[in-house]
A and B are shown apart, each in its own frame.
Chain A
Amino acid sequence: MNQMQEKACPIIANHIKIALVGQPNVGKSMLINSVSNAHLHVGNFSGVTVDKTEVLFDYKNYHFTVVDLPGTYAFTDYTIEERVTHDYLCAESYDLIINVVDSTNLEKNLQLTSELMSMSKRVVIALNMSDEADKEGVVINAEYMSELLGIPCVKVSAVTKTGIEELLDAVVSVSEQETQESKLIFSEPVEEEISTIVDYLTKHKYKAVNSYRNVAINLLKNNKKTYAKLHDDPIWIELQPILIEASKHIELHHDSDDIKESFAEEYASFNRGIIAEVLKQEVIEEKKTLTEKIDKTLIHSIFGIPIFLFFMWSLFQLTFEIGSIPMDWIDAFFSWFGDTIGATIPNEDVRSLVVDGVIAGVGAVILFVPNIIILFIGIALLESTGYMSRVAFLLDGFFHKFGMHGQSFIPLVTGFGCSIPAYMSARILKNDRDRLLTLFIIGFMSCGARLPVYVLFAGAFFAPEMAGNILFAIYISGAMIGLVAAKVLKLTAFKGADEPFVMEMPKYRLPSAKLIWHTVLTKTMMYLKKAGTFIAAASMLIWFLSNYPHNLMIEEEYATKIEMALSKDAKTDLANEQAVAHLEQSYLGKIGKFSVPIFEPLGFDWKMSVALQTGLAAKEVVVSTLGVLYALGDNVNEEDNSLKTAISKNIPFASAVAFIVVIMIYLPCLAASIVFTREAGGIRYFFYLLAFTSIAAYSLAFIAYNVTLMLT
C-alpha cells in the first residue's frame, strides 16, 4: 500500500535513497567516487562524532542519494562507527542497501551480508575489487550467488570502474520491486523454533511491520527493540516461556551459553555453504603475498619501531617546515586585509571591533590551515595504505602500560605541533574510552604556540647556550607529565577493565589521490566552517573585555601629556603607559586583579595573571600581553631583548618557573578547547578538562614554586 502511494507521488517517484554498507577496507568510499563520477556536491554532516557522507547524483531518470556509512564488521555496536551504521540502518528511512563486499575475502564479508539479510530490507550486493579477485585466481559465480541469496549480486571494480552501470541498473530494478523475504536458512533446530514462534504469532494475529519470520529471528537473537515492542503486548505472557524453551534448545544444539555466539555460528555455516557453491579458487602456487613481504620489514621486532619513528619525524618536519611557508603569506594577507577594511570604516569602535577583533581572530585560525592540510594528507596516507594498523601493533605494548592504546601515538605527536589537528586525529581511535583519554592527554604535549613563551622565559633567566636545553627539558617533562596523567586518569576517571585490542591488519594498498584529496578537502572545510564561526564570536568577546569600559579621564590625561611630550620616544612611552592604564581598568584587567589572590600562592602579580588569562584565547597572546603590561608596546616578540630584561628584572625566578609550569599544563587555547568539546562529544567534557587541567596546573605550579624557593 505504502509502496503504491510513493510511486504515485511525482516528486519522490524517481528518487532513490541508498545506504552504502560494508566492512571496513572494502573500498566503499572509492566506489562512491566512481559511481558519482560527476557528483554535484558532497555534503558532510556529522553524527555524534563520526561522519557519514551523503553524495547526490543523477543516473538515467533517477536522482540518487547515497549515504556512505562508516565501515562495520558486524552489528555489535562495539565502536562508534558500528553504532552510527547500525542506528542509521534501523531507524532512518531509505529505499535500499548496497552492501559492498570484498571479492577477495568473500566469506568474511558475507558475515555482515547475512545480518543485513535478516533485516527484511531490499539489498543489492556489489562484489567489489573483482579485478583483484581475478588476479588472485578467485572466481565467483555472481548469477548463481544472486539466485541462492535472492539478492542481485553485481561484480564491480571501483578502481577500473567496471560494472558501475550494471550496479546502478540493479539498484533501479530492485527499488521497483516489493521487499522479498530473504533466503537465509538456518540449521534445523533454529528453523524449528522459528516456525513455532511464527505459528504462535499467526495464531494471535500479532500486528507487525515486518514479517513474522523476521520478528521471530529478532526475538531469538535477543534484539532489544523487538523485545521492548512485544513486552507491552498481552501475548508476551504466553510467548515468554516459548522463547526461553527455544533459546535453550538452540544453545544446547551449539553447546554454548551465548545465543549471539550460536547465531554467529549459524550465519557462518550458511556462508560456508554459499561459498562452497559459488566460489572457485583456482589453484595458484603458495607464494608470499606482497603484504607479507612488506610486513616482514615494517613490523620487524627490532627495526619496526625505528622505521616508524623515522616516518613520524618526516611527517612532523614536513608539517611545520613546509606549513610555515604559507603561514607568513596568510599573516601578511590578514594584516593587509585588516588595514584595507579598517580604512573604510570611519567609526573608531566599529573599526577596532572588525579589525582587531574579528579579522585578527579569524586570521589566527586560518593561519593553521596549511599545517592542518599537510598533517591530514599525512594521516590519510598512513591510514589508507594500511600502515596505521601496524603502528598500533608496534606501540600498543608501550602505551598500554600507561593505560592508552597503540594508536594514541599519532594524536599525541601531532599535539606537539598544534592541538587542534591533534584532537581531530584522535578519531582514528575506535573505542570511546581510549579516545577520550587521549583527548585529555593531548594538551600536555606543548603545542607550537607555547614555544614563544618558553623561548622568552628561557632567554630571560638562562644563558643563551643553556636556553636550548631548557626548552628541550620543558617539552620532555610536559610529555612525561602527560603519560603520568594518563595513568592517573586511567586509574580514576577512566577506571575499568582494559579495553580489548583486537584489530584488523588490512592489506597494503596504494592510496588513491582522488580519495585523499576528497578526505582532506572535507575535513579542512569542516575545520574552517566550524572553528571559524566560533572563533569570530570568541574574538569579539575577548576584544570587548580588553577594550571596555572606556575611561575618558585616562584618555584625556594622556592625550594632553602626549601632546606636551617633546621627543618621539617620550611620546611612544606615554602611549604605552596609556595602554597599560587602559588595560588595567578594562574588564580583563579587573578580572586579572580580582584573580590575584588565587594566583598569589604561585607568586604571580596581576600582570602575570592577566597574561595567563589572555593566553586562554591563544597562547601566542601571552607574550604580546606581557609586552603591553610591561609598557613596551605590543609589537614585541620572544627575541626582544628589552622584554627579556624587563622580565628578568620584574619577575622572581621561582614565579617564572611556576608560570612556565602553568603554561605547560593549563587549558589549551580557545580554538582548541572548542574543537576538543566537539570531538569529545559534549560541553560537560570541556568542564572536566577545565577542572582537570586547572587542578593539575595549579598544584604542580605550587610545588614547583615552593621547591624553587627552597633551592634558591
Chain B
Amino acid sequence: MGFTFVPPATYILWTMSEAAATPTPPNKPVAPAPKPFAPEDEVTLRESLKRCSPSTFEAAIQFRKTGNADHVPAVVIGVIERFVEPDLRVKLKDADDDLRLIEDLGIDSLTMMEIVILVEDVLQMSINNEELRNLRTVGDVKTFIDCKVRGLPLPKPTKFLPIEHIGTVMPIQPPFLFLNEASVSSTSASGKYKISGQEFFLQGHFKDNPVMPASIMLEALGQLAVLYLLEGAPAEPGKRVSPQTIFFTGCEGVRAHRLCKPGDILSLSVKPKRMKMPLATFEGSIRVGADKAVIAEEITLTFGFVDIVEAPAPVAAAAAPLRAAVNA
C-alpha cells in the first residue's frame, strides 16, 4: 500500500476529460477541453497575452496545441511578471519558488485576481476564490496551477509553524531540537535556527572556539525532514505518518562550506526527492544569509503510517461514563 512521489514534470500526459465543457464542482481538477486549437484561438491568445513576454506566448501556444503541462510554469511566471511593477520584475528573473507574492512582489489581492483571470483565460481553466487564499509564494502558484492542469489533488497550503507547534509534534525535543521556526508545504519545508552559543556541545566543540558541528547541522536538516513527513507529506486516506516510526537511514554527498558560529542564523531547507514507504529521500541545504553553509544531496529517513484515530482521547474518556449511564 505504498505510494510514490514523482516530481510533476515526469508525468507523461493527463487524461483528457469533458470537465471543461461542463460546470465543474469546487476543487474538481479541470483539464483543457479536447477541442482543437484553431487559428482564431491564436489571435485571441495573442491579444490576451499582448503585455507578456514573447516566451510566455510561445509557452501558452505550445500548451494549448499539445496539452503538454511542462509549458505551464513558463506561462504562469510570464503572467505574474506582467502584473508586477517593472522595478520589481528583476526579482522574478531567478524565479525562486520561495519569492513571496505580497511581501516581495507587491501583489495585492486584486492583482492576484487579475493574474488568475488571465491564467484562467490562457490555460482554459477555472479557479475558485477559496483556492487562492493559501497561495503565498511563486512556488505555491506554480504548484497549484500545475496540479489543476494535470488533474492532481491540490497541494496542502504552506503552513507556518512556530516553535510551540514544532515542539508539540516532533519526537525530538530540547536540548536536541535545532529548529526555531519552520514553514511546511506539500513540496518542501524551510526553517530557521539561531546558534545561541548556549548549546551544551559548544563547550567542547572546540576548546575556546565554539563552532557548530557539521554533524549537528546535518541533524538539523534531518529534523526538518521529519517535520515535513509529519506536517507536509501527502498521506494515504485515513492514515498519518507516526512520529515513533521515523529514523535516520543514510546520507550522500554532504559538504560543509562555511564555519557556523554563535549568532549565525541557519536558514534550512529540504525538498523530497523520492518517497516510497518506508523510505523518504530529501535534498537539503543550509544558508547563512547569502552564504552557502551545508549541502546534502541525499538524506534518507525511514517512516511508517498509523491509522488516524477520531476524536481526541480526553473528550472520549470524559464522554464514556455518560454514555454508559444512558445505555443503562
- The judgment on whether A and B are partners is no
Binding site for A on B (CB under 8 A): none
Binding site for B on A (CB under 8 A): none
